[in-house]
C-alpha cells in the first residue's frame, strides 16, 4: 500500500502493551513487528521507558507502545517506571494486557488463586470488571498445558472487562496472528498517522544505548543492571556511506566503584563481552558495520536524583 491509496475502511490507533514485569511485553512487541527493536531479558524491570513501534499492513496501522512492568515499586526509578506504564493506559485506543500464564498456572497448580496482589492492582488500573474493554494476551502458552490456561483466562475475566482472550507464545509466535487480528478489529477507522514504511520514531542512537543496557542485563547479576544507565556520547556517521561504518562511543554509568569493577571485569573481560555482544546487535539494527567504544563511569546515586532520572528520559515532575 502506498501512502496515497488508503482504503476508506483503514484502521489506525495506539495500542498499549501493559502488564507485570517479565510477562513478555517487549518480546511480544518484537514478535508482532517481526524484528527486534525492544530489549528483553529474563530479569524483571528491563524496560524503563515507553518504546513505540509502528506496525502497518494494507488494512491497518497499529502504533504499539511497550511499557515498563507494573509492580509494587519502592525506589524512585521504579515508581517512575510504573507511572509511565499507568499513564499510557488512558492514552491508547486499545489496551493489550500481557500476562505470564506460566506464573498464573503455577499458582493454580499449587492451590493458590491464579491472580496475586500485583495482578489485582493491574486489574484496578484497567477499571475492574466495569472498566474499558481490554484484549488479554495469555503469554508463554508454549510452557503451559492447555487445561491450565482456562482457569487463568477465567480468573482475568472476573477481574476486568475483556474484548477477547488469546493464548499466545511471544517466543514461538503461536497465536500472535490471532492476537493481531483482535488488535486490528478494535482500532478506530482512521487513515494512517505515520508513513507506511516507518518502523519507529526512536533514533538509532537510542536503540544503541538500549542494546548495551540489554547486554548488561544478560551478563551481570543482582543490583548491577538496575544501577546502570547507558548514554551514547558519540554517533559518528561520517563513514556510513563510504565505508559502511558507524563509530559509536557510549558511557556506562553506575552508582558505585564496586559496580564499575564488575562491569569492567577481571582484566577487562566483562566489558569486552558486553561490547562484542552489543556490537553484533547494533550492526544488525543499523545494517552496517559498527565500531563501538565503551567507557564506565561512576555517578553516585544517579537513580535517586531528579537530574539522573531526567537523563534516562523521565520527564520533570513537581
Ligand atoms: N517460555 C516463554 N518465555 C517467554 C515468552 N515471552 C517472553 N518470554 C521470556 O520472558 C522473559 C521476559 O520477557 P520480556 O519481553 O523482557 O518481558 P517484559 O514484559 O517486557 O518485562 P519488563 O520489561 O521487565 O517489564 C524473557 O526471558 C523472555 O524470553 C513466551 O511466550 N514463552
Ligand atoms: Mg520489557
Q: Is the pLDDT of residue 318 over 60?
A: no
pLDDT digits (tens, 9 = 90+) for 216-257: 999 999 999 999 999 999 999 999 999 999 999 999 999 999
CA 243 to centroid of ligand 1, rounded, Å? 37
Ligand 1 pocket, mutate which of 22, 77, 97, 100 (most atoms under 8 A from CB): 22
Q: Helices marked H in 35-194 — which ranges? A: 76-91, 101-109, 117-125, 146-159, 176-185
CA 21 to centroid of ligand 2, rounded, Å? 7
Among positive and negative, which fits the CA dihedral 52, 153, 145, 115? positive
Domains recognised in the chain with CATH numbers: 11-185 (3.40.50.300), 204-311 (3.30.300.20)
Confidence at residue 78, expressed as pLDDT on a 0 to 100 scale: 95
Ligand 1 pocket residue status of 139, Cβ below 6 Å: yes
- Phi and psi (nearest 5°) for 33? -80, -25
CA 139 to centroid of ligand 1, rounded, Å? 9
Cell of 43: 530479569
Q: Is the pLDDT of residue 8 over 90?
A: yes
CA 144 to centroid of ligand 2, rounded, Å? 21
Decide: 281 and 259 in contact? Cβ < 8 Å.
no
CA 70 to centroid of ligand 2, rounded, Å? 11
Q: Give every strand in the sheet of 51-56, ordered side by side.
A: 51-56, 60-66, 11-18, 94-100, 134-139, 162-167
Ligand 1 pocket, mutate which of 27, 105, 118, 213 (most atoms under 8 A from CB): 27
Q: Is the pLDDT of residue 315 over 90?
A: no
Ligand nearest to the CA of 24: 1
* Mean confidence (pLDDT) of the chain: 96
Instruction: Please give the average per-residue pLDDT across 109-129, as a whole number.
Output: 96
Decide: 246 and 291 in contact? Cβ < 8 Å.
yes
Return the ligand 1 atom nearest residue 30 CA.
15
Return the ligand 1 atom nearest residue 66 CA.
20
Ligand 1 pocket residue status of 308, Cβ below 6 Å: no
Decide: 271 and 296 in contact? Cβ < 8 Å.
yes
Neighbours of 282 (CB within 10 A): 23
Ligand 1 pocket residue status of 140, Cβ below 6 Å: yes
Ligand 1 pocket residue status of 61, Cβ below 6 Å: no
Instruction: Please give the average per-residue pLDDT across 107-118, as a whole number.
Output: 96
pTM score of the predicted model: 0.97
Instruction: Work out the percent of the chain whose per-residue pLDDT is above 70.
Output: 98
What CA–CA distance (Å, rounded) separates 20 from 67? 10
Q: Is the pLDDT of residue 141 over 70?
A: yes
Confidence at residue 5, expressed as pLDDT on a 0 to 100 scale: 82
pLDDT digits (tens, 9 = 90+) for 242-299: 999 999 999 999 999 999 999 999 999 999 999 999 999 999 999 999 999 999 999 9
Confidence tier at 317 by pLDDT (50, 70, 90): low
Q: Is the pLDDT of residue 2 over 80?
A: no
pLDDT digits (tens, 9 = 90+) for 30-78: 999 999 999 999 999 999 999 999 999 999 999 999 999 999 999 999 9
Return the ligand 1 atom nearest residue 45 CA.
24
Confidence at residue 316, expressed as pLDDT on a 0 to 100 scale: 63
What CA–CA distance (Å, rounded) separates 298 from 86? 31
Confidence at residue 3, expressed as pLDDT on a 0 to 100 scale: 58
Instruction: Work out the percent of the chain whose per-residue pLDDT is above 90.
Output: 96
Amino acid at each position: 500500500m502506498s501512502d496515497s491509496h488508503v482504503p476508506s475502511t483503514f484502521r489506525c490507533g495506539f495500542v498499549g502493551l501493559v502488564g507485570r514485569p517479565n510477562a513478555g511485553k517487549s518480546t511480544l512487541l518484537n514478535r508482532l513487528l517481526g524484528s527486534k527493536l525492544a530489549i528483553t531479558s529474563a530479569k524483571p524491570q528491563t524496560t524503563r521507558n515507553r518504546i513505540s513501534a509502528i506496525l502497518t499492513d494494507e488494512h491497518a496501522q497499529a502504533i504499539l507502545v511497550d511499557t515498563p512492568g507494573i509492580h509494587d515499586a519502592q525506589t524512585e526509578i521504579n515508581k517512575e517506571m510504573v507511572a509511565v506504564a499507568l499513564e499510557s493506559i488512558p492514552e491508547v485506543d486499545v489496551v493489550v494486557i500481557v500476562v505470564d500464564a506460566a506464573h498464573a498456572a503455577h499458582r493454580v497448580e499449587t492451590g493458590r488463586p491464579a491472580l496475586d496482589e500485583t495482578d489485582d492492582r493491574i486489574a484496578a488500573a484497567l477499571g475492574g470488571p466495569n472498566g474499558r474493554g481490554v484484549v488479554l494476551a495469555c503469554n508463554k502458552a508454549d510452557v503451559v498445558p492447555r487445561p491450565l490456561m482456562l482457569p487463568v483466562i477465567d480468573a482475568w475475566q472476573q477481574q476486568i472487562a475483556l474484548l477477547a482472550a488469546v493464548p499466545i507464545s511471544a517466543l514461538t509466535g503461536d497465536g500472535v496472528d490471532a492476537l493481531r487480528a483482535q488488535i486490528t478489529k478494535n482500532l478506530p477507522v482512521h487513515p494512517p498517522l505515520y508513513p507506511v514504511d516507518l518502523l519507529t520514531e526512536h533514533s538509532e542512537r537510542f536503540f544503541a544505548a538500549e542494546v548495551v543496557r540489554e547486554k548488561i542485563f544478560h551478563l551481570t547479576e543482582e543490583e548491577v543492571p538496575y544501577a546502570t544507565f547507558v548514554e551514547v556520547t558519540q554517533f559518528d556517521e561520517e563513514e556510513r556511506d563510504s565505508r559502511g561504518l558507524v563509530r559509536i562511543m557510549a558511557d556506562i554509568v553506575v552508582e558505585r566503584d564496586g559496580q564499575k569493577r564488575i562491569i569492567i571485569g577481571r582484566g577487562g573481560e566483562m566489558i569486552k563481552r558486553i561490547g562484542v555482544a552489543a556490537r553484533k546487535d547494533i550492526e544488525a539494527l543499523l545494517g552496517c558495520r559498527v565500531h563501538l567504544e565503551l567507557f564506565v563511569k561512576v555517578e553516585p546515586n544517579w537513580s535517586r536524583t531528579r537530574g539522573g532520572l531526567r537523563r534516562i528520559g523521565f520527564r520533570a515532575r513537581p
